[in-house]
Amino acid sequence: MPTSAASVDTVKRAGQTPDERMPFAELGMKQDEYDRVVAILGRRPTGSELAIYSVMWSEHCSYKSSKVHLRQFGTKAPKSEALLVGMGENAGVVDIGDGWAATFKIESHNHPSYVEPHQGAATGVGGIVRDIMSMGARPVAVMDSLRFGGLDQGDTRRVLPGVVEGISHYGNCLGLPNIGGEVVFDPCYIGNPLVNALCVGLLRKDQIKLATAPGPGNKVILFGARTGADGIGGASVLASATFEDESQAKRPAVQVGDPFMEKLLIECCLELYQADVVVGIQDLGAAGVSCATTELAAKGTGGMTVDLNLVPLRDPTLRPEEILMSESQERMMAVVTPGDIDAFLAICEKWDVPATVIGEVTDTGRLVMTWDGEVIVDIPPGTAADEGPVYERPFHEPLGQHDLNLDTPDSLERPSDLRTTLLQLIASANLSSREWVTSQYDRYVRGNTVLAQPADAGLLRVSEVMPGAEETTRGIALATDGNGRYAKLDPYAGAQLALSEAYRNVAVTGATPLAVTNCLNFGSPEDPEVMWQFAEAVRGLADACKTLGVPVTGGNVSFYNQTGSAAINPTPVVGVLGVIDDVAKRVRSGFPEAGLRVVLLGATYDEFGGSEWAHVAHGHLGGLPPRVNLEAERDLAAVLAEASKQGLLEGSHDLSDGGLAIALAEACLAQGVGVTVSLPGDDAFVDLFSESAARALVCLKPEHFEALTDLCARLDVPCYGLGETGGDSLVVEGVLEATVAELRMSHEATLPGVFG
């Protein structure tokens, strides 16, 4: 690629020098992929064209290894009248009633967050928020699903504080409440932390915007931050490569965020939508201008001209190839009719957002870019945006999988002193209080937060989101869950259990689950054993979504989460969005007061494979995860929704990691209210610590007990009266007793003990 400022590789020059060697391999492109570009163009690509194809055909942008599997989310999708926009757009959109729609998506920023935790995590939030904005919505909340190496491993003390600070600074500056998520520790993530950021937005149903550039003569406007050298090659170099020992050298490839500019962009976009001056819009994320121009053009009339000299630069020395690959943050691209240009630019000026017309929509079917008057790009945009390579990667069950499944937890020594086990678990890395993290996030801003962490799900009021819009009583609930240990034991079941838990977490608030987003974090797709985990997880998730009637609306795949040959546990993270008709009828988390009946819903089995107890007490991972029971999940959710609607419940909490014992302890800790229970089964250890799915804890006034048991009988959901709230201790009769104060002390000391 020519590098002197004077000469730029033009289409004309490419025709004259057909044999010039192009650095496709350095840009992460394989020989056969390069050959296909040459075949498409009928000549060698220019440097700028190569830049476009290399980023658009990277794993990160093209989903080339995952596409053949992800199709199941479409082919197996349950019929859903709620689905307004499905996969393939910036984010899915679902109908939540009364003319309102919600759009939500989760996305990974794993690799950048390892290299530079603060900026990596911050720009992860920024990117997903722009996806939501580009659908025409006001972003209304964020959540983060985070995974780090072991709590006792040194690098966790570098990565976690940086990631949390990055999310905190960026999200708080944007004025978006952070309403939930996860923080998980496991040594398998030590060189590959997972930072999955979710954003949800609300819009009126008739306000949906799409990434499309129709109408020849319409103008293409680039607005937001100016383009700099950040993240150049980020998409293909960072997101598609495995870390070996070169992380230091890759540092400049991480993008740097400016949340202030993003906040201005949010308000600016909403005013542009209000003024109805946007024909199509796309955010600039991975692959920057390359991605935005090719995708907009491919989905529109089909052609576009762009004068790259007009792109406003922060670094005037940038070459056209670099401008095309730059991942500078806080940028958007809009298609605007000529008559609306003045109004568009005036709104941008009001918000101090730089905006520049850089091109025009055409009907030529070609994306043509010029630099200093010479044509440097002339390609059919769809070949870059939609017709990337598709790989049917080989896969097979890992060699050790059978032995792993045979190594059941049945032989592990079970404790006799269950009080000690409870105190040990409640203080463990994964079950201890997350407050050290979550207190750094603003959960109140915008004033619509009904529930936030440590509640099972975040819950937002929909009304008052947009001044002047129609009133509604509705609320939306959101939860994310994943369990890499379950998925390691059985990726098919593990993905289904992640969905089951997120679905259940939404249900315990009283909301009805409606739609799904997912972030699939795996090792290298070039390893057939990893590819098997991926294929199984996708198959499991697609099947479960079908059974539960909740369609996948979008998501993200993150491969290459491995250091050397050691891949992370397969970690499908699932986000579920639900709707509650009357948000005032939401069920609070935990025990709100004394004198309430406490009831366990769902059946308990002896299930400890992949459990928190096996992990903490024995460092054991083997056997099979808890049995998936989707019908039971659906029935449980129906009971919870109906009970909330009838106003039967005063509090609720889902049962998951650590089982009933942890659920009881957390319910006590919520408001400092104790409880006395007796166990339904004859094995106290199984009753207290098994992680069987499809279970929840509820509390209610004694006069509502019969109505609840009737409801459970009708829907065939097992239901056991456990006891009553009150006092200042958690008492399991004949088994254990712990004061709420000592539970709190154990629960809250762990993370501050490590992070200060």
Partner 1 sequence: MRVGVVTFPGTLDDQDAARALRLAGAEAVPLWHADHDLKGVDAVFLPGGFSYGDYLRCGAISRFAPLMTELVPAAQAGLPVLGTCNGFQILCEAHLLPGALVRNAGLHYVCRDQRVRVDNASTAWTTDFTQGQEITLPVKHGEGRYVADAETLAELEASGRVVFRYAGSNPNGSLNDIAGITNEAGNVVGLMPHPEHAVEELTGAPGVDGRGFFSSIVRKLVNA
Residue 261 or 621: which CB sits closer to partner 1? 261
CA distance 603 to 591: 21
Which residues sit opposite 105 in a β-bridge?
A: 199
CA distance 296 to 291: 8
Residue 255 or 524: which CB sits closer to partner 1? 255
352 binds partner 1 (CB under 8 A): yes
Among 33, 258, 378, 691, binds partner 1 (CB under 8 A): 258
SS3 content of the chain, % helix, strand, coil (to 5): 40, 25, 40
CB atoms within 10 A of CB 348: 23
State the minimum distance, in angstroms, from the CB of residue 586 to partner 1: 8
* DSSP 8-state secondary structure symbol assigned to residue 87: B
446 binds partner 1 (CB under 8 A): yes
450 binds partner 1 (CB under 8 A): yes
State the minimum distance, in angstroms, from the CB of residue 446 to partner 1: 6
The closest alpha carbon to 94, from 86, 78, 83, belongs to 83
Within 560-619, the residues that bind partner 1 by CB under 8 A are: 583-584
* Binding range to partner 1, per CB under 8 A, among 108-116, 139-147, 166-174, 334-342: 166-174
Among 271, 315, 387, 442, binds partner 1 (CB under 8 A): 442
State the minimum distance, in angstroms, from the CB of residue 101 to partner 1: 20
State the minimum distance, in angstroms, from the CB of residue 350 to partner 1: 8
State the minimum distance, in angstroms, from the CB of residue 170 to partner 1: 11
Tokens of 149: 């190496």
What is the enclosing helix (H) or strand (E) of 494?
helix 491-507
Which residues sit opposite 580 in a β-bridge?
A: 475
For residue 615, indicate whether it is catalytic. no
* DSSP 8-state secondary structure symbol assigned to residue 467: T
CA distances from 29 to 48, 469, 521 (A): 14, 49, 22
Residue 442 or 529: which CB sits closer to partner 1? 442
Which of 60, 118, 653, 704 is the catalytic position? 60
CA distances from 561 to 188, 190, 343, 523, 569 (A): 10, 10, 46, 4, 9
Tokens of 349: 């000026």
* Binding range to partner 1, per CB under 8 A, among 165-173, 198-206, 276-284, 512-520: 165-173
Among 153, 172, 309, 709, binds partner 1 (CB under 8 A): 172
* Binding range to partner 1, per CB under 8 A, among 395-403, 441-449, 627-635, 636-644: 441-449
Which residues sit opposite 697 in a β-bridge?
A: 600, 653
State the minimum distance, in angstroms, from the CB of residue 449 to partner 1: 6
Among 55, 121, 143, 173, binds partner 1 (CB under 8 A): 173
CA distance 692 to 356: 57
State the minimum distance, in angstroms, from the CB of residue 259 to partner 1: 7
449 binds partner 1 (CB under 8 A): yes
CA distances from 248 to 109, 116, 372, 561, 675 (A): 18, 10, 35, 17, 53
CA distance 2 to 17: 12
State the minimum distance, in angstroms, from the CB of residue 440 to partner 1: 5
153 binds partner 1 (CB under 8 A): no
* Binding range to partner 1, per CB under 8 A, among 69-77, 253-261, 658-666, 703-711: 253-261
CA distance 614 to 422: 13
* Binding range to partner 1, per CB under 8 A, among 399-407, 426-434, 443-451, 604-612: 443-451
* Binding range to partner 1, per CB under 8 A, among 88-96, 164-172, 631-639, 697-705: 164-172
* Binding range to partner 1, per CB under 8 A, among 19-27, 142-150, 162-170, 522-530: 162-170
State the minimum distance, in angstroms, from the CB of residue 450 to partner 1: 6
Asked if residues 622 and 489 have their Cβ atoms less than 8 Å apart, the reply is: yes
CA 678 to mean position of chain CA atoms? 39
Among 145, 168, 305, 556, binds partner 1 (CB under 8 A): 168
226 binds partner 1 (CB under 8 A): no
What is the enclosing helix (H) or strand (E) of 670?
helix 659-671
Within 400-439, the residues that bind partner 1 by CB under 8 A are: 438-439
How many residues of this chain bind partner 1 (CB under 8 A)? 33
3-state class of 698 per DSSP? strand
Among 2, 97, 150, 175, binds partner 1 (CB under 8 A): 175
443 binds partner 1 (CB under 8 A): yes
448 binds partner 1 (CB under 8 A): yes
For residue 109, indicate whether it is catalytic. yes
The residue behind tokens 């004394």 is: 594
Q: Within 13 Å of residue 571, how many CA atoms lie on the same side as its CB?
A: 32
CA distance 738 to 661: 11
Among 73, 185, 273, 351, binds partner 1 (CB under 8 A): 351
Residue 80 or 172: which CB sits closer to partner 1? 172
Contacts of 118 (CB under 8 A, 6+ apart): 162, 163, 165, 166, 169
Asked if residues 332 and 260 have their Cβ atoms less than 8 Å apart, the reply is: no
CB atoms within 10 A of CB 387: 16
468 binds partner 1 (CB under 8 A): no
Q: Got the DSSP string for 606-657?
A: ---TT-HHHHHHH----S-PPPP-HHHHHHHHHHHHHHHHTT-EEEEEE--T
441 binds partner 1 (CB under 8 A): yes
165 binds partner 1 (CB under 8 A): yes
Q: Within 13 Å of residue 610, how many CA atoms lie on the same side as its CB?
A: 26
Residue 521 buriedness (CB in 10 A; 0-12 / 13-18 / 19+): buried
Residue 172 or 337: which CB sits closer to partner 1? 172
Within 483-502, the residues that bind partner 1 by CB under 8 A are: none
Which of 109, 111, 615, 704 is the catalytic position? 109
* Binding range to partner 1, per CB under 8 A, among 168-176, 235-243, 612-620, 658-666: 168-176
Asked if residues 366 and 52 have their Cβ atoms less than 8 Å apart, the reply is: no
CA distance 681 to 607: 14
State the minimum distance, in angstroms, from the CB of residue 302 to partner 1: 38
State the minimum distance, in angstroms, from the CB of residue 118 to partner 1: 13
Instruction: Write phi, then psi, for 562 (nearest 5 degrees).
Output: -155, 155
729-732 and 675-677 as β-strands: parallel, antiparallel, unpaired? parallel
Contacts of 274 (CB under 8 A, 6+ apart): none
169 binds partner 1 (CB under 8 A): yes
473 binds partner 1 (CB under 8 A): no
State the minimum distance, in angstroms, from the CB of residue 224 to partner 1: 14
348 binds partner 1 (CB under 8 A): no
CA 587 to mean position of chain CA atoms? 25
Residue 493 or 583: which CB sits closer to partner 1? 583
Among 464, 470, 593, 728, binds partner 1 (CB under 8 A): 464
259 binds partner 1 (CB under 8 A): yes
Instruction: State the residues that interact with partner 1 by CB under 8 A.
Output: 165, 168-169, 172-175, 258-261, 263-264, 351-352, 438-450, 461, 464, 467, 583-584
Which positions are annotated as active-site residues? 60, 109
